[in-house]
Amino acid sequence: MNRYRRSIVIAVSIASSLFILDAFILNQGVIAAITAIAVIFVMLPRAVLAWRGHDRELAQARAMKAAVYALMVIGVFGANYLNNALAQSRAEELITAARHYEARHHRLPDGLQDLAPDFIPEVPLAKYTLLFNNFRYIAIKGRHSLFWVDVPPFGRPTYRFEENKWDYID
């Protein structure tokens, strides 16, 4: 196994970088999905072929590399799920604050910044990512909507205040 240790360390480094890129910068899961396909259709079959060729050490190294990338895939999808659950929770807090604003001022706010500091301490980020991490609020001609980007660049859970319901755009 010692002769394959370096390749496993490299796989851990690459998988860690891909995890950070896909979970906390892009927040899409596309890299994770492509990696999952590579694990299933390339890495695992290569490990099986090495096993069948009686090179147990190579088979074990390839299986470990496949496991490293599989863990990265699970981690990305888990992080994306948790980020979107956090955004949903924070959106509910913003909706409650906007409804309190409406009760006091007899109208919905013109922007999320109108809610701070009287109704919320500050406008929160939707989620912990570098891109697509803000809530968007639209107030035009009697139409008020709150949304964030769930799966960049599309996929926007949208709350429509006048209808008091959630939609999903894109």
Give the residue from 154, 148, 140 showing the smallest Cα distance to 166.
Answer: 148
Q: How confident is the model at residue 140 (pLDDT cuts 50, 70, 90)?
A: very high
Q: How confident is the model at residue 3 (pLDDT cuts 50, 70, 90)?
A: confident
Residues 6+ apart with CB under 8 A from 119: 97, 98, 100, 101
Give the residue from 163, 169, 166 showing the smallest Cα distance to 149.
Answer: 169
Report the pLDDT value the prediction gives residue 152, as an integer from 0 to 100: 85
| Mean of pLDDT values over 90-115 | 98
Report the pLDDT value the prediction gives residue 1, as an integer from 0 to 100: 59
Q: Number of C-alpha atoms within 13 angstroms, CB side, residue 21?
A: 10
Domain ranges of the chain: 2-82, 84-169
| Mean of pLDDT values over 115-137 | 96
Q: How confident is the model at residue 54 (pLDDT cuts 50, 70, 90)?
A: very high
